[in-house]
Amino acid sequence: MMSLFGGKTNAYNAKVKALEPFRVHVQEDDELTTNQGLKIVDNQNSLRAGPRGPTLLEDFILREKITHFDHERIPERVVHARGAAAHGYFQVYESLAPLTRAKFLQDPSKITPVFVRFSTVGGSRGSADTVRDVRGFATKFYTEEGNFDLVGNNMPIFFIQDAIKFPDFVHSVKVRLECGL
C-alpha cells in the first residue's frame, strides 16, 4: 500500500515514530492569547465580510499580528535583503483608459519614473546566489497621483489568500539566529 507521499506506508510510519520524541503536544490548559492576554481561538484566519468578502479592519488580531511583524528589525531576517536595483522610466504603448483610471496608464506620451528591484526573498546578506530560494521583484512608479507599488514573487502557488498568514510564511523561510536553520 502506498502513502500520499509516494513511499511505502511502513516507511512513513517509521518516520512518524522517529519524529515523535521531538513533537510538542499542546496541553488542554494551553491557551492562545493576544499580546494583551485576551484568550482567542484562532490566529490563522482573518475576520471577513462573508466567505469570500474583504478583510475587515475591525479584526484586531490581524492588526496586532501584522503590526508586530512590521516592527521586527532583525538584520539577518530582513526579507529581500539581497538584490539589485535600477532607476528608469515607464511609458505605456497605448492608452488603457477603458481599463483603468490611473493617469500614467492612459497617456502614451507620459513618461513615469520608476525604481525596480530584483531580489531573493529568504536569502540573508552574505548567502550564496546558487541556493534554491524564492525570487521577487518590486516596482515603484512615481506618478503625479502618488506612488504605485507593484510586487511579485516567483512561487508556483500564491499562498496568500489571507494576509494574516504572511508573517508566518516569512518566518518559515528565514534563518533562525539561534540554530542557523
**Residues annotated catalytic, as ranges:** 80, 153
Question: CA 105, 106, 109, 115: dihedral to nearest 10 degrees?
Answer: -10
Tell me which amino acid residue 3 is. S
Owner of C-alpha cell 492576554: 37
DSSP result, 76-123? GG-TT-SEEEEEEEE--SS--TTT---GGGT-TT--EEEEEEEEESSP
What's the rounded Cα separation, in Å, for the pair 20 and 73? 34
Neighbours of 81 (CB within 10 A): 18
- What is the helix, strand, coil percentage profile of the chain, to 5? 25, 25, 55
3-class DSSP state of 166: helix
